[in-house]
Amino acid sequence: MNKHYTVKDSSLYREFRDKAFQYDLQYLGYLSVLYCFMRDSILINSTKAFDYIFPELFNFKDESVFTWYHHACYKALIADKQTALESLEKSLKLGFGTYFMLTSDDDLASIRNEPV
């Protein structure tokens, strides 16, 4: 998904790298499309693309913890800090607990030092 991480603790990175994440294959397909939109300099500014993909992702209730996380990444990238923080909070409340991703995912860099 062309994710980039700023690695400050190599042991945390190794632990993250070696962890297996299990996703519904159809969900992963939609997630791949989401990241194609997010990495395209024109499509990232198209609300139509995201208005289509996020409802599809939210249909996968078992994956909502990750969908909220990726929603936070998207909102952080488009500088909607308030919504990014709200989405991240929803993800955390649902049990998101990948510390390495929270502290190292470059998509979240714009909100990392925001007061909650």
Residue 45 lies in a domain: yes
Write the pLDDT tens digit of every residue in 5-34.
999 889 888 888 888 788 899 999 999 999
Question: Is residue 42 in some structural domain?
Answer: yes
Give the Cα separation of 99 and 40 in Å (integer): 27
Cβ-contact 63, 23 below 8 angstroms? yes
Which tens digits make up the pLDDT trace of 78-108?
A: 999 999 999 999 999 999 988 999 999 999 9
Domains: count for the chain: 1
pTM beyond 0.85, yes or no = yes
Within a domain: 115 = no
Q: Domain for residue 14, yes or no?
A: yes
Question: Which residues does 28 contact at the CB level (< 8 Å), separation at least 6?
Answer: none
Whether residue 91 is contained in a domain is answered as: yes
- Greatest distance between any 2 Cα atoms in the chain: 40
Residue 113 in any domain: the answer is: no
